[in-house]
Structure 1
Amino acid sequence: MDFLVGAEDDDGSRRGSRAPSGRRGRRRRRRRNRGGFLAPMLAVIVLLGGIGAAGFYGYTWLRGVMTPEDYTGEGAGEVVVEIKDGQTASDVAQTLEKQGVVKSARTFTGAVADAGKSSSLQPGEYRMRKQMSAAAAVKLLDPTLRLLERVTLKEGLRLSDTLTTLAKETGKPLKDFQQASKNVKALGLPGYAKGRLEGYAFPATYDITPKMTAADILTAMVDRFNQTAEKDGLKSAAKGLGHTPHEIMTIASIVQAESGNLQDMPKVARVIYNRLDTNRKLEMDSTVMYGLNKYGISATNEDLQSKSPYNTYMHTGLPPGPIANPGDHAIQAALNPAKGAWVWFVTTDPKRGITKFASTEAEFLRLKAEFEKNRGSG
């Protein structure tokens, strides 16, 4: 029993001596575990807080960098901006920023892309304002708002009349055009033009900007002629007809001057070729009048005595060069004359532009009488 009691006491004393220690240990471990968990948590929170603040400020800075500055509103003042041929939207953006129209080139490229107009910017001069919003600047670059004069030059005008028309329509001095017309090397004339602009200032409608000089305008007209000559195959077609390109242009100018309408042009061209082929004098009133610097459809007897090289009643063959600036229809007629044996034509009714053709002298005399009758009754 003592043994049993002793054993119990001994066991109890061991349990008694260990139990408090175990509970305290567990409590201490729990305390330590709580402290050990909270510390990393706090460190993470502090770290994340720092990252968050840095991220916020970093985002704010990045947004400022990535979003270019822009003006607001429609701007003020006036500035003329030129978009040159071949410039991209980025090139235009740089020009606008440099001239103080937009705050940033990047702002403009973004605005023009948003508007879907990056590829629709057209060359020309535009009236803009300074310090405009990029979106407002895009609107003012509409091609319909370009600063230009639209000048139409009719077919068959002599060079002198062409220059006068250009001076009147553009407000530039006539002497500027006259001087520029003499500097033929700068105009890009083809070699076969023999250094003369007459016949090669192509008649068409031209958009002329304020910055274009007289030489720029005449160069544009010669360029248009060169394009037409390339399209029509002028050189090769002339060779096939046994003539030089310059001779074809001379024929075309006479066709233009003598024809009452487009339908008559191939027939008038045939008359010219038939006369040249049979070594007849052309006997064209239009060439005589050109040589005398006069206007009219019928030369007088006095006019016919002129010794001008353009007097085709006196000289055989073609005159020295074109007598006007023919259009594409006249050029086409000179290259593609109608088939026929006609060697005369008479504009029997000038008011209505009626021209009749004859292959015999008797027919010609009847047509001439008809013309005299109509002229007398007019």
Structure 2
Amino acid sequence: MSDLDLNDLLGTEDDEGRSRRRARGNRGGGRRRRRRRNRGGFVAPLLAFVVLAGIIGGGGYYGYLWLSDALVADDYTGQGTGEVIIEIKDGQSASDVAQELERQGVVASARAFTNAVANAGKSGALQPGQYKLRKKLPAAQAVQLLDPNNRMLIKVPIKEGLRLSDTLTQLAKKTGRPEKEFVAAAKDVKELDLPGYAKSGLEGYAFPATYDFPPKTTPRGMLAEMVKRFKQTAEKVDLVGGAKDLGHTPHEIVVIASIVQAEAGRPEDMPKIARVIYNRLERNPQMKLEMDSTVMYALKKYGTAATHAELETKSKYNTYKYLGLPPGPISNPGDHAIEAALNPAKGDWLWFIATDPKSQVTKFASTEAERQALLAEYRRNGG
């Protein structure tokens, strides 16, 4: 065989061999390349874990600081500085309050406050009102100072027996508001939620007590609160039921109570004075009440003894001229007077006289002779 033939033969064999080897090599080479990729996919997460471990663990102190800053809310220390008024409005959540506190500079962060509220278990204890706080307070201390007992309030004591006009004057004086605002509010009776039997307006139904009003309470709101307090007392003593048992309307009982309040010098005399009023109303023929207090109310004066000229007034409140009760209360009676009107003492007295104006002792008479003796004692004591 020639060299050419041998080479051709060998070349052909080499080509076929190479073809077979490429076929085998391709299969083997593919597996090797996949193994290399798998090793690369395992290394990448491993490296990421090592880096994270280096930040948190290997980074030591700096890693700790980074996590602390991310998880712990900013907060102040110390006792705070300055002063600010914070108002919690009706319906606000703890989160709403927290944001306002942060905005006003009371707490360092809203999150610190909400955390402190949750830790103290007071998420539902925040009450509407105004509170006086310092700026830059620790959140936990801010929570304590927002206790409802720390609300800013205006204390207004209203004595029993004041007429409505005097009550309005006292409210204006204690709150610093113009008196005309209270006068206007008192006339707007539809907004005061008076009981249905209040036939003559607010007089008699502005209950005397000591009130704590939030600073932003309006005159109408204050008077409405006083009416609410009257209604609570009326329910407690069963004014409607008691009036029915006595054969009177609830309004008439309030009128009687107002006279008792104006005439009595001491609470212990009130049930007897109430009995005198009932005895005169129920007498046959009926007696006039002849109460000086009702005459003085008609004349917008004060005192317990009207002059002959004053007794000539034609006002329907002149119980010396007209039979029966006056058209409305003459004062705002308190608990004792209302209870006395509902529970008069037993007795047949027709008169009562404050025989000693200084000690306010009141004595009672059933006959004209007894009455004259009490009048003489009254004069001896300077009456």
- TM-score bracket relative to the smaller structure: 0.7 to 0.9
Report the equivalent of 1:147. 152
Amino acid in structure 1 at the alignment position of 2:113 = F
* 2:208 aligned with 1:189: no
Tell me, in whole angstroms, the C-alpha distance in 2 between the residues paired with 1:69 and 1:112. Answer: 15
Amino acid in structure 2 at the alignment position of 1:159 = L
Counterpart selection for 1:323 from 327, 330, 341: 330
Report the equivalent of 2:6. none
Q: Secondary structure at the match of 1:338?
A: coil
Question: C-alpha deviations, 1:215-260, integer Å up to 9, x for none?
Answer: 2211111111121112222122212221111111111101111111
Asked whether the 8 Å contact 1:73–1:136 carries over to 2, the reply is no
CA distance 1:88–1:203, shift in 2 (3 Å) = farther
Tell me, in whole angstroms, the C-alpha distance in 1 between the residues paired with 2:91 and 2:195. Answer: 25
* 2:296 aligned with 1:295: no
Report the equivalent of 1:170. 175
Displacement after TM superposition at 1:132 (Å): 3.3
Report the equivalent of 2:234. 229
Counterpart selection for 1:363 from 360, 370, 379: 370
**How does 1:271-310 map onto structure 2 within 5 Å?**
271-278=276-283, 279-310=286-317
Report the equivalent of 2:138. 133
Q: How many residues align?
A: 336
CA distance 1:157–1:138, shift in 2 (3 Å) = same
**How does 1:1-378 map onto structure 2 within 5 Å?**
49-50=50-51, 52-53=53-54, 64=69, 66-84=71-89, 89=94, 92-97=97-102, 99-115=104-120, 121-143=126-148, 145-194=150-199, 196-278=201-283, 279-375=286-382
CA distance 1:316–1:88, shift in 2 (3 Å) = farther
CA distance 1:91–1:204, shift in 2 (3 Å) = farther
> Greater CA deviation, 106-115 or 192-201?
106-115
Tell me, in whole angstroms, the C-alpha distance in 1 between the residues paired with 2:146 and 2:258. Answer: 40
Displacement after TM superposition at 1:110 (Å): 2.8
Normalising by the residue count of structure 1, what TM-score does the alignment of the two structures yield? 0.79
Displacement after TM superposition at 1:207 (Å): 1.0
Which stretches in structure 1 are left out of the alignment for 5+ residues? 1-38
Which stretches in structure 2 are left out of the alignment for 5+ residues? 1-38
Report the equivalent of 2:3. none
Asked whether the 8 Å contact 1:248–1:335 carries over to 2, the reply is yes
Displacement after TM superposition at 1:151 (Å): 1.3
User: Aligned-residue CA RMSD in angstroms?
Assistant: 2.9
Normalising by the residue count of structure 2, what TM-score does the alignment of the two structures yield? 0.78
Displacement after TM superposition at 1:52 (Å): 2.8
Q: Secondary structure at the match of 2:382?
A: helix
Tell me, in whole angstroms, the C-alpha distance in 2 between the residues paired with 1:190 and 1:97. Answer: 45
Displacement after TM superposition at 1:196 (Å): 0.9
Report the equivalent of 1:16. none
Report the equivalent of 2:32. none
Asked whether the 8 Å contact 2:186–2:202 carries over to 1, the reply is yes
